Amino acid sequence: METYTNILITGGGGFLGQHVVDAVKRRFGPEAVITIPERPGDDLRQMETCRRLAAGKDLIIHLAARVGGIGYNRENPATLFYDNAVMGIQLMEAAHQAGVKKFVALGTVCAYPKFTPVPFKEDDLWIGYPEETNAPYGLAKKMLLVQAQAYRQQYGFNAIYLLPVNLYGPGDNFDPRSSHVIPALIRKMVEAREAGAPAVEIWGTGKASREFCFVRDAAEAIAAAAEKYDAPEPMNIGSGSEISIKDLAELVSRIVGYSGRLDWNSSQPDGQPRRCLDISRAKQALGFVSATPLEQGLQETAAWFEAHRATL
């Protein structure tokens, strides 16, 4: 097993990245030097930036991404495709040129085809086209798997590809213009509770299902894969259980103490009909099992939002 002491973690200051930095420090010890690119000076869309950051590193964990919820994906498909594709492709090429020992690319559950059989198995990644509202983002990230396997085949480059499910937890993005479903529901229901609003509107029918993984659990899996997983096949990272959006909304309303009505706006999209991962590969290769039950994680996330909402 390789030892890594000079590590680059892109996106290390972000929601997931902060937890990955902590997990990597625990796993690789105090002798590991971790570099975290800073905005706006370290623009990964510029090849010279990628080359500078990759120089002298022996491990790169690429978490940096431009992301958002359904609305943000519908409004910014070109931006999401270009930024995510260019950042990852250029950074992996720079890593190869610099002789980096290992590259960890983070994909997305949005890369899976719209009608993937449940639970999603990594071998089913190519059986169809992703759900249309987030296909440009999902395909941009999926190209990093193609690149990783091509570089392994031609150059012997040790690049691995991880597929995390929807993440949530304290420190998530609660901006209503770009947040994902859990922080969006928490914010909307807390504000409705404070305002005494009789109802909140929620996009879709509530019939779609999602799987969620608590951010600290996902960070532990990513750090473990950085240390232990060296295979060309992609690996799912998740909790292995799903919940309907309707049940999720009702659970959030109970946790935050909102007793009003939930009005479903079926003119807005549900997104992918179902999402639930087969996590057996991660369990077998890493011994990884998500430790945080959904209700416990939601309580911690809602409490964090209530404590920090004045600054958000």
pLDDT along the chain (312 residues), means of 10: 91 96 95 90 95 98 91 93 98 98 96 95 97 95 98 98 96 90 96 97 94 97 98 97 96 98 94 92 97 97 96 86
At residue 41, the pLDDT reads 82
Q: What is the extent of the structural domain holding 139?
A: 6-168+212-240+276-291
Q: Is residue 91 part of a domain?
A: yes
At residue 39, the pLDDT reads 74
At residue 70, the pLDDT reads 81
At residue 155, the pLDDT reads 98
CATH of the domain at 162: 3.40.50.720
At residue 253, the pLDDT reads 98
Domains identified in the chain, total number:
1
Residues with catalytic roles: 137
Q: Is residue 41 part of a domain?
A: yes
At residue 297, the pLDDT reads 98
Q: Is residue 61 part of a domain?
A: yes
At residue 196, the pLDDT reads 97
**Helix/strand/coil (H/E/C) assignment for every residue in the chain:** CCCCCEEEEECCCCHHHHHHHHHHHHHHCCCCEEECCCCCCCCCCCHHHHHHHHCCCCEEEECCCCCCCHHHHHHCHHHHHHHHHHHHHHHHHHHHHHCCCEEEEECCHHHCECCCCCCECHHHCCCCCECHHHHHHHHHHHHHHHHHHHHHHHHCCCEEEEEECEEECCCCCCCCCCCCHHHHHHHHHHHHHHHCCCEEEEECCCCCEEEEEEHHHHHHHHHHHHHHCCCCCCEEECCCCEEEHHHHHHHHHHHHCCCCEEEEECCCCCCCCCCCECCHHHHHHHCCCCCCCHHHHHHHHHHHHHHHHHHC
Q: Is residue 114 part of a domain?
A: yes
